[in-house]
Amino acid sequence: MGYEIERFLGYVNDGLLCCICRDVLEHPLQAPCEHAFCTTCIHGWLVHHNNCPEDRQVLAVTDLRALHRYMRNDLSRLQIQCKNYRSGCEMVCSLESVDKHERECEYGRMSCIHAGCPVQFERRHLDSHLAVCEHRSRECPNGCGYAILSAEDLHHNCIAELRTELELLRSEMICRVEETKQEMESRLDSQRRHMVQKESLLQAEIEELKSQMSRLLSDVRTLVASERQHRQDLEQANLEQRELIELLKGAKRDCRTKTSDASSSLPVTRLESLKRRTREVTII
List residues bridging with 38 in a β-sheet.
28
Check residue 80 for interaction with Zn ion (CB under 5 A): no
Distance CA 126, CA 93 (A): 25
Of 35, 36, 67, 244, which lies in the binding site for Zn ion, with binding defined by CB under 5 A? 35
Our CB check for Zn ion shows the closer of 83 and 237 to be 83
Our CB check for Zn ion shows the closer of 41 and 237 to be 41
Check residue 21 for interaction with Zn ion (CB under 5 A): yes
List residues bridging with 92 in a β-sheet.
81
Least Å distance between CB 76 and Zn ion?
Answer: 17
Of 91, 110, 247, 281, which lies in the binding site for Zn ion, with binding defined by CB under 5 A? 91
Distances in Å between the Cα of 160 and the Cα atoms of 144, 165, 174 are: 10, 9, 21
Distance CA 200, CA 231 (A): 46
Our CB check for Zn ion shows the closer of 81 and 244 to be 81
Least Å distance between CB 113 and Zn ion?
Answer: 7
Instruction: With CB under 5 A as the rule, give the number of residues binding Zn ion.
Output: 27
Distances in Å between the Cα of 34 and the Cα atoms of 16, 20, 23, 153 are: 12, 14, 17, 64
Least Å distance between CB 11 and Zn ion?
Answer: 19
Least Å distance between CB 187 and Zn ion?
Answer: 43
**What x/- string results for residues 109 through 148 when contact with Zn ion is judged by CB under 5 A?**
---x-x--x-x-------------x-x----x-x-x-x--
Q: Which 191-220 positions form the footprint of Zn ion (CB under 5 A)?
A: none
Region near Zn ion per CB under 5 A, out of 12-20, 209-217, 224-232, 239-247: 12-20
Our CB check for Zn ion shows the closer of 19 and 237 to be 19
CB 16 within 8 A of CB 74: yes
**What x/- string results for residues 36 through 75 when contact with Zn ion is judged by CB under 5 A?**
--x--x----------x-xx--------------------
CB 91 within 8 A of CB 82: yes
Our CB check for Zn ion shows the closer of 28 and 237 to be 28
Q: Which 144-173 positions form the footprint of Zn ion (CB under 5 A)?
A: 144, 146, 158
Check residue 98 for interaction with Zn ion (CB under 5 A): no
- Where does this chain bind Zn ion (CB under 5 A)? 2, 18, 20-21, 33, 35, 38, 41, 52, 54-55, 82, 84, 89, 91, 105, 112, 114, 117, 119, 133, 135, 140, 142, 144, 146, 158
